[in-house]
Structure formats: C-alpha cells, structure tokens
Amino acid sequence: MQQDTLPDSVIHNSRVLPATPGQVFAAFENPDKLAIWWGPAGFTNTFATFEFIPDGNWIFTMHAPNGADFANESVFREIVRDSRIVLEHTVVPWFRLTVTLTPEGQGTLLTWDQEFENPEMAERMRPLAATANEQVLDRLQALLVEN
C-alpha cells in the first residue's frame, strides 16, 4: 500500500528484506534477536516482559546513545505466523503498528504501518518516526544478513 492511499494518521515504511517471511518473523518472535534490532540506530533495549501471543504484553526500556531511557508498553493484538503482527503501543504516544510480511522473489516485502490516534499526532511524529523506522529496518536487515 502506498502512503497516498493510507489515512493521514498512518506513517508507512516498507522494505524488501533478503530473508524468507519465516526468518523475518523469527526476528520478531525471538526476544534476544528483537532486542538487537528494535529501535533507531545506537539504541539498546532491556525487556522486562515479552509475551509474544495475542493480548500478550511487551514492556521494555529503550536506551538512547545519550543515556536517556524511554519506557515502552505494548500489547500484541494479532499474530499470524510468517505473515502479520499487530501491536498497540499503549503509552504516549499511542499507536497501532501493523507489520505484514509477503514473499517477494527470494526475499520478503515487509510493510510497516504505524497508525497514530489522529492525523495531527501523526504529523507531529512523522519527522522523527519516518526516519527512526528506516533505521529500525536497517538494523533488522543487518541482523538478517548476518544470520
């Protein structure tokens, strides 16, 4: 789906990754792998709770390179093995993240749609989130290439 066909409340990123949908899905469901690539460049993560099941909680802290910590809480709303993950970030800023995995050639087309509560919040977050999401996908791609 192209950004121009999505609601104004959605920030869209996509990438063809050099791995199968199963390999990409494994990078989400394995907390040790997820902690390596989740977040913008230079960030690290500490997971307190990681329940990768529908309605499971994910509570973690992202640590910025400058020493700042960012508390995060999410709930996994939908998990379809090798094809779809939906989570709600339940603290400010609220958003619903929908990740879809579609086989494409020898790889996987990953779409990353981050829907905020309204278009105004999406516009406020867009300068940061669009770039940060690309950095997240860079880190995911690097992990997949290494493995």
Task: Convert 71-127 into a string of H (helix), E (strand) and C (coil).
Answer: EEEEEEEEEECCCEEEEEECCCCCEEEEEEEEEECCEEEEEEEEEECCHHHHHHHHH
What are the tens digits of pLDDT across the range 28-77? Answer: 999 999 999 999 999 999 999 999 999 999 999 999 999 999 999 999 99
Domain coordinates in residue numbering, the chain: 9-146
Confidence of residue 6 (pLDDT cuts 50, 70, 90): confident
Q: How far apart are the first and last CA of the chain?
A: 29
Superfamily the domain 9-146 falls into:
START domain (3.30.530.20)
